[in-house]
Amino acid sequence: MDAAEWDEHYANTELVWGAPPNATVVEQVFGLERRAPVGGGIGEPRPELPRVLDLGCGEGRNALWLATHGWQVDAVDFSQTGIDKGRTVASRLSRSVRGRIHWIHANVMHLDVAGITGPYELILLAFLHLPAADRRALLLRATEMLSPEGTLLVIGNDTLNLAEGYGGEQDPARTFTPADILADLSPAEPDIRIRIADRVHRPTEDRDAIDALVVATRLAPEPQDEPLALEAPQPPALDLS
């Protein structure tokens, strides 16, 4: 669906996805080692909280949970209606939590145009189903925006879900498997390490849905060896005989 169709979709119900965050996102984020953010540019203040980019945030269920758990969130979606609903939910939270979320109405395929460049300690793509070529381009751009030792978390409806699971994306061209995501990320392999690539069964009101999960980490640069200090030349010994 395009942005107008998603606007209509979000407008027709109170909360399409419900308020709670995705359980697998919660599990994986709780398992991360929290790292101090990389400092800003010259003259810019150092962020006090680790930063996360939530791509395709929808109504903000994951963004809101991340903000309440100490993350500074850039939440991006091309549906203004979805973002407005996220803001409405956020208005019920404390001012400190609301202040941690920056809602951005933008197309995830044009992040630079929206001024979204990173770096981020965490980048989340949760149930963002794109055509394969767009997905690959966005994943590679995401790896570039990760801070050293930052984490990329990708979860969505597995292709197997169409036949054996329940609900979710019904266009086979937009579903994916863990192997598909690994292939998408292969050009970035010198700079990233794959931590998890697996299928996850998610309980629903009917049978389990089947999701594809990939978690990758951007490697920190190797420390440069210190140059060996040269010994200062010694003066010749005096002959005192």
Looking at residue 18, its pLDDT comes to: 46
Query: Sheet holding 192-202: strands in order across?
Result: 101-105, 72-77, 51-55, 120-126, 146-157, 209-218, 192-202
Q: How much is the pLDDT for 67?
A: 95
Q: Is the dihedral of CA 119, 101, 8, 169 positive or negative?
A: positive
Q: What is the pTM of this model?
A: 0.83
* Residue ranges of the chain with per-residue pLDDT less than 70: 1-19, 33-47, 224-241
Residue 146, SS3 per DSSP: strand
Can you give the pLDDT at residue 162? 97
pLDDT of residue 221: 83
What pLDDT is recorded for position 23? 95
- Residue 41: its pLDDT value, please? 44
What pLDDT sits at residue 48?
74
The neighbour count for residue 36, using CB atoms within 10 Å, is 12
Is residue 210 within 8 Å of residue 165, measured between CB atoms? yes
Q: What pLDDT score does 20 carry?
A: 87
Condensed to tens digits (0 to 9), the pLDDT of residues 77-105 reads: 999 999 999 999 899 889 999 999 999 99
Gap between the Cα atoms of 69 and 32, Å rounded: 12
